[in-house]
Amino acid sequence: MCGIVAYLGKKNALEFLIEGLKILEYRGYDSAGIAVLNENSSNYNLEKSAGKLVNLINLVENKDIKGHLGIGHTRWATHGVANNANAHPHISNDNKIILVHNGIINNYLELKRKLKEEHNINFYSDTDSEVIANLISVYFKECASIKTAVIRAKEEIKGSYALCVISPEDPDKIILTSKEAPLIIGLGEDDELYCASDSSALLKYCKQMIRLKDYEVAELKKGGKFEILDANNNLVKQPNIQILDHDPLHLDKQGYKHYLLKEIYEQAAILRKLFETHFNKDLNITFPNLNTKIFEGINKILIIACGSAYYAGLAGKTFIESLANIQVDIEFASEFITKKNLLVDDKTLLIAVSQSGETADTLSAIKLALKKNVRLIAINNRPESTLASLSKDSCIFTQAGVEVSVAATKSFLAQMFCFFCLALYLAEIKSPEKKEALKKIKLQLHLQPQIIEQILARAEVYKQKILPFAEKKAFIFLGRGINYITALEGALKLKEITYIQATAYPAGEMKHGPIATLDHDVPVISILTNGDVYDKTVHNVMEAKTRGAPNIAILNDGNDELDKEIDVILRVPVNYEEESEFYDLLSPFVGVVPFQLIAYYLAEYMGKDIDQPRNLAKSVTVE
Ligand code: F6R
């Protein structure tokens, strides 16, 4: 979604603005722009362009843009189509206020009407952001201070915003404010100040950062000076300075053709790291950032999340219910917030799952639930995110590093892994007598990274087997029990990066309707790994086969009984050493990986924009 960058220092601002916007490209966007104030004059350059960032780069390349202060933006269209006029930065009618904005202003039509009627202001875009630029300029006229003008404007605007405001009239300052949209000040070397809506843009430039809290206003000044005012406009004496410690290698493709492929290949190492974090040498489970008192006296567990994180939550529900024998509810965050009656209270454990920690639906759902005094745990990938600050001493970090490709891969596996640890922990608290039996499952969990590496070594085989299906218009994914979750995630990956219609069904449900859609042009992909649900799923796959659907299946090594029945077999190693009641709970850890790979190879063959699929954004910061 939209991205903001800003710079105030001794270097030419344009350099960081373009580099920062390049880093934010991964978030998904459809236009881009910059504004740079020229030194010692009230001149400025404002350039914007619809489409990819390269269009903006071509535009600025041959222009002499010089100045030590500037702002930049990548826009993901909400109000108004993706064209030059709607791209940011926006400028007020009197050319005195220039701003970039992330978020949505709910009362922008009312403000627009007022500005038109009372101040004769014209509008040249369809955006809510241009309205804010003009609102600030009206106050700027009255008070001659951008900071005061922004403070007055923020009292009037309703909705969510991260705003970065500059004025050619006062070319030494950048004013920032935010509400329910992330905005970070980066403290660079040599008195440089940076700003970004996503800390990844700052990694190369800063070691320290300050996250603006809701309704705060910051004034960045020359010489590395800055001042932050709290929601009541009082000076914040000791801003909370955090360390920026992501590994910049995450922002490098390291020889892979796409970030997505690189991130798929990182999965085994991430699970190893998570195992080391959560298990000591006696295989006792620890959670370094979680006060486990939170579990005392709970009578309900509710998981909320969106997209792939929701599917990881579904896996979490299955793990906790199966291992710990505790019932778990799960809701899409966007649905939870529509409920008339939130059936949660101070004995409810709310587990919020989010890679970015910035998903608007998830954050809104959490805020609503917190009003009912729920206890919150976050399974989160970004320690500097809003979600992390909402769940201070109750975070389970997925430690997957920055996930650049828009489609979730490594974060999904890491989220499932964290849920598995949580399920084992809850099972041990509830039934200490099961500790020895659970130890066997822990040992099998420990095996998963090496099995994933064996699967990745087969990538080329999967590629050759799947490419003949590249022309198909639709796919159906089938799985039962825990494998239905693998099917859901597999279908989502295929949809996101190839744009092929793909639907997942619990295998037993197919005969209740979806079977009508089957023919020779709709391949059915099923998960037939060993386990309790294997036999019944085979029956469903045969029902599809007799309707003429080509069939593709994931089967374990050593199972050759279906060699004549299945058209294309994608084999995975057996991922447990010892059979137990629960061994098939681990199957998504290996089942999902071939699905990630086949989606990738189909998309690559079809020439799709794999890391930035159309219409998608990495962190969805609007509801
Ligand atoms: C799927 C995908 C999305 C996200 C969803 C939640 O590949 O990337 O479905 O999983 O938007 O995002 P986070 O986890 O950042 O809250």
Q: pLDDT by residue (tens digit) across 31-83?
A: 999 999 987 677 999 999 999 999 999 999 989 899 999 999 999 888 788 89
Residue 356 Cβ inside 6 Å of ligand 1? The answer reads yes
Selecting among 154, 410, 465, 618, the annotated active-site residue is: 618
Distance between Cα 307 and ligand 1 center (Å): 5
- pLDDT computed for residue 620 by the predictor: 79
Asked whether the domain spanning 282-430 has the same topology as the one spanning 3-253, the reply is: no
Q: Identify the H or E element spanning 75.
A: strand 69-75
Q: What are phi and psi of 512, to 5 degrees?
A: -90, 20
Distances in whole angstroms, Cα of residue 39 to Cα of each of 168, 173, 620: 9, 12, 36
Which residue from 356, 391, 416, 493 has its CB within 8 A of the most atoms of ligand 1, so it is best to mutate? Answer: 356
Query: Is residue 362 within 6 Å of ligand 1 at its C-beta?
Result: yes
pLDDT digits (tens, 9 = 90+) for 603-614: 999 999 999 998
- Tell whether the model's pLDDT for residue 582 goes beyond 90: no
Give me 168's structure tokens.
């050619």
So what's the pLDDT on residue 458?
97
Sign of CA dihedral 386, 389, 394, 395: positive
- Residue 1, pLDDT above cutoff 90: no
* Contact criterion met (CB below 8 Å) for 305 and 314: no
Q: Is 308 in the pocket of ligand 1 (CB under 6 A)?
A: yes
C-alpha to C-alpha distance for 557 and 555, rounded to whole angstroms? 7
Query: Phi/psi of residue 46, each to 5°?
Result: -130, 115
Under 8 Å between Cβ of 478 and 553: no
CATH superfamily, domain 3-253, is Aminohydrolase, N-terminal nucleophile (Ntn) domain (3.60.20.10)
User: Strands, DSSP E only, in 251-404?
Assistant: 300-305, 328-332, 348-354, 375-380, 395-397
Token representation of residue 490: 């597999």
- The reply to whether ligand 1 has any atom less than 6 angstroms from the CB of 497 is no
CB atoms within 10 A of CB 467: 15
Structure confidence at residue 116 as a pLDDT band (50, 70, 90): very high
Q: What's the pLDDT score for residue 420?
A: 98
Q: What residues pair up with 527 in beta bridges, in sequence order?
A: 554
pLDDT in tens, 211-243: 999 999 999 999 999 999 999 999 999 999 988
Joined tokens for residue 302: 């509710």
pLDDT at 246: 66
> How would CATH label the architecture of 455-623?
3-Layer(aba) Sandwich (3.40)
| Distances, alpha carbon 433 to alpha carbons 58, 156, 280, 285, in Å | 67, 60, 20, 16
Kindly state the average pLDDT of the residues 195-208.
91
Which atom in ligand 1 lies closest to the alpha carbon of residue 620? 11
State the distance from the centre of ligand 1 to the C-alpha of 372, rounded, in angstroms: 26
How many Cβ atoms from other residues are within 10 Å of residue 579's Cβ?
11
Listed in sequence order, the residues at least 6 apart from 607 whose beta carbon sits closer than 8 Å to its beta carbon are none
Report pLDDT for 249.
Answer: 66
Architecture of domain 282-430: 3-Layer(aba) Sandwich (3.40)
Q: Is 307 in the pocket of ligand 1 (CB under 6 A)?
A: yes
The yes-or-no answer on residue 618 being catalytic is yes
Cis omega (within 30 of 0) on the bond before 89?
Answer: yes
| Cα–Cα nearest to 541, from 618, 477, 458 | 477
Q: Verify whether ligand 1 is closer than 6 Å to residue 398 (CB atom).
A: no
Cβ of 407 closer than 6 Å to ligand 1, yes or no, is: yes
User: How far, in Å, from the CA of 308 to the mean position of ligand 1?
Assistant: 5
Among 333-342, 385-394, 533-542, which stretch is predicted with the lowest mean pLDDT? 385-394
pTM for this entry: 0.84
Please calculate the CA angle 332-335-340 and round it to the nearest 5 degrees. 140
Tell me which of 2, 164, 206, 306 is the catalytic residue.
Answer: 2
| pLDDT tens-digit readout, 376-394 | 999 999 988 889 989 987 9
Q: Which of 498, 620, 622 to mutate to test the pocket of ligand 1 (most atoms within 8 A of CB)?
A: 620
Q: What is the pLDDT of residue 243?
A: 87
The atom of ligand 1 lying closest to the CA of 308 is 10
Task: Kindly state if the Cβ of 354 falls inside 6 Å of ligand 1.
Answer: yes
Compute the average pLDDT of residues 270-299: 95
**Centroid of ligand 1 to alpha carbon of 361 (angstroms):** 11
pLDDT per position as a tens digit, 479-490: 999 999 999 999
Specify the pLDDT at position 578.
75
Closest Cα to atom 3, ligand 1: which residue? 307
Give per-residue pLDDT as tens, 139-188.
999 998 999 999 999 999 999 899 999 999 999 999 999 998 889 999 99
Q: Give the β-pairing of 173-179 and 217-221.
A: antiparallel
Average pLDDT, the chain: 94
Q: SS3 for 288? A: coil
- DSSP assignment letter at 235: B
CA of 84 relative to ligand 1 center, distance in Å: 28
HSE-CB of 197 using CA atoms within 13 angstroms: 34
Please choose from 306, 331, 402 the residue to mutate so as to test ligand 1's pocket, defined by most ligand atoms within 8 A of CB. Answer: 306
Rg (CA), the chain: 26
Ligand 1 centroid – CA 620 distance (Å): 8
User: Of 266, 242, 238, whose CA–CA distance to 402 is shortest?
Assistant: 266
Place 28 in a pLDDT band, splitting at 50, 70 and 90: confident
Mean pLDDT of 275-288: 95
What's the confidence (pLDDT) of residue 559? 95
For the chain, which residues make up each domain, given as ranges? Answer: 3-253, 282-430, 455-623
Separation of CA 216 and ligand 1 centre (Å): 28
Phi/psi at 439 (5° precision): -60, -35
